[in-house]
Structure 1
Amino acid sequence: MAVFGGMTLTNKGLVLQGKAQAGAQLNYTRVAVGDGSLSGQSVPALNGLISLKKNLPIARLRPQPPNKAVIGATLSNADITTGFYFREIGVFAQDPDVGEILYAYANAGVTADYIAAGGGSDIIEKAIDCVVIVGIAANITASIDNSLVFALQSDLDNIAATDSVTPSKTGTLTALLSSLFTLIKGITGKPNVLTAPAISLEATKAHVDDTTRHIAAAERAVWNDRSGYAVTTGTAAALAASVTPAPAALSAGLRVGIKTHVATTGAVTLNLNSLGAKPIKKPNGNNPLLALGGVYTVVYDGSVFILQGEGGEYGTAVAADVLEGTTIGTESGVVPGTLPNLADQDVGGYISTAGSGYLGVVANSDENGVVGKITDSTTIICNDASLIPANFLAGKTVLGMAGIATSEPTVGAAAGDIVASKAATVNGNRIVGTLADKDMGAVAEPAVNAVFSSVLYVRIPKGAYRTVTGSGYPEVKLTTAQLLAAENNFNAAVLKAGITAFGVTGVYAGQQMVSGSGSGNLSGLMTVTNLPFTPKMIILDCDDSKVVRATYVAGGSTYGNGYYQIASQGTSKALLTAWTITANGFSLKTDTRANNPFTYYAWG
């Protein structure tokens, strides 16, 4: 078998291939075979075959990614008169500038196959594929004689089609036929593409167009929205129902009738054919009250079921606003009225508040001895023998009745006896009072004078002083400021601490004294704390086999505060540390021994 070892581009082939890279058309013209041997020739420099025996037309051309092309031809010995060795092969192409050139060349050398002459017992037909470099040329063509095209074995192997392959754009005959088979199976509904359908397309078309057997889309919508009917199950808060035929889904406009197996009292849902629980609402959005055994129609609006035939607006009236013996519709249902019907009832009259001008009535009563009646015309009639014009002042009208009284018995009162801004009738005449009104017992700028230490005198102006709290004589109130203004010596400093008199709280605490004992520390420092005051005077005695006394007086002399005395020696010495006075104690240090006991007296 001949071994060519691949094809080599000639120099002219390289030039043409470069032109093709630049966009020129790469057009292959023929394939040639010969029996020439290489004897030192340069293959790239060749312009043709060494010994041409036969030109072969191109039968096929296909790309071989990424940068090659396959040029196919068929070598037959049918028209060969003299046999030869098939040793060399060349591919020719058309150069747009110089004409036809040898594009690529290959030589099998000593491995050449012998091609016998035709007409004998050897019939030879070889399919030859020449693989050449084309680079990235985009426009590659060849003149192909279709009469010479034949299928390769691999093409024949792939030509079988099946109706089980999913259609795809693979560009092969297998894919095309498989797509057609799948399409036919989808149309016929049969498992095999060769199985005849139960009905032809023409018969199917006629059946679809038959409006006697099939309703129109609008008619179907009406049919789907018809009212189903079912008795509910579930609980009062979560009803369930199943209608036949069952709707595929809840859609707006779906209408259904239900008979409730239980009464509902609040929020309630309906789960229709297990499509999901949806609330049932009145048209106004309120929860309905469904009675036991009640039959209702509901329409789904896309989110809730709306109860039909109910849901009108209600007012604000309650049972107490409706007469006994009548009823009123509410969101909670029909409610009986509780308002008493007082028509044709006896009533008693009374003045609800003296001077207010209101006349009250009490049903079934003879309040204050006045008996009246409520008539069926809603008129209240009250009878009182004293309700006559003579009992009302002239010029005044009471309940539509004009008074005629002009005088009263003599009482001897004058304007000065009547509190100012008030009026009274004296002998039938109206008199306005002039007596000063000292309401609340207040005294404006009273004259105050403490004549004796035990008596406080207060002089008040003339007027009417009305008792406000307590009983007996009127009260005269003095402010703390007025009291202090009357007596300068009355102040907080002269009152005992914690005592309050006339609104003044005392702060005088008096002289305080505390005594105690203790021990000094290792260095002789003596300290006292927790006194209830800041000490102003201190006497401290300690016993160190001698009497030692130290004294402190706030603001005292140097000797009193900075020294201590040794009684047994009659001498004075300076303190090792000065007195330290704190808010509640003190400390000092002498030359006494460590832990020396001491006693003290402190005044604040």
Structure 2
Amino acid sequence: MSLETNKYYLTNRGQEILGGAISGTPINVSAVKIGSDALPSDEESVRAMTALTAVQQTLLINGIVTQKGEARITVVISNDKVTTGYYARAIGVYVIDPKMNAETLFAVSALDDSYIPAYGISAKVNQIYTVHIVIGDAQVTVVGDGDLYLLKKDALTIDRIYPIGMVIPLLGDNDPNSLWPTTQWEKMAEGMAMISAGETYTSGATYGANEVTIEKCNLPKVKVDITTEDAGDHTHPSLTGISEAGFDVTNGGGDSDGGDPLRIAVGDNRPYHNNRYSATTDPAGKHKHKGTTDYLGDGQGLNVMQKSVAINLWKRIA
């Protein structure tokens, strides 16, 4: 009769150890191992085994729970240390033999030749396998409950803690590509800060700058007084050709010196009793003056960075 896949068979020594457990001797599970050799075709030969042949992996025991005559052993199947792929054809539960104080095969099951690939970015295996040891009233049996499922459903994994797209901060030179070899990370550009995304800011887009140059449109809307350049100096000729006119009180004598009070004085002579004739300027004197203000600054960029601490930001991409 051929062996059933995923059905556990107690070894002869395993049967004795389990019988002692019913009497109060504890069973100490030491390891769960996977082998690439097929089990013997007959049940009698299987029960006579004390160890698997061609052991490829010793699995990590994730937990053991005992209650109401039942023990549940969960193990992690991972290929993170597998350098050469193999076909899983047998799995065995090992315990410490209380008589020999040494490891012995307790129960064994045939597997379905699942291929366990060598570790790689595109070949990752993370699974939990559960074995039940059931103690009944009439007989003692060891059965596998077929409880095989992805580890990420039942335990914290790198994919659950840091899913693709996750950004993490790291101080120092730690590289997550080395910390978690099954993943791929890229370092974000220097000088990047994070803001919350929403309707205005789209997740993953880049905004802002650490330094800006102020444009004219950013200055206050005010007028600035100016001083004209020296080229603005000028004179305006009068329309009449004279700058002043009046009665002469110097050369003509005037009434104080017995002179002719009707003599007209022009130019720099002081008119009689300061009577003056107003001159008008030539319309050609109409003009505008140009000028510039002093420089408002040096045109340097304005640093708008807040006080910060520099850290490395890494984004998971695979």
Please classify the TM superposition score into its range, dividing by the shorter chain length: 0.3 to 0.5
Structure with the larger RCO, 1 or 2 (CA within 8 Å, 6+ apart): 2
- TM-score where L is the length of structure 1: 0.21
- TM-score where L is the length of structure 2: 0.40
- Higher Rg: 1
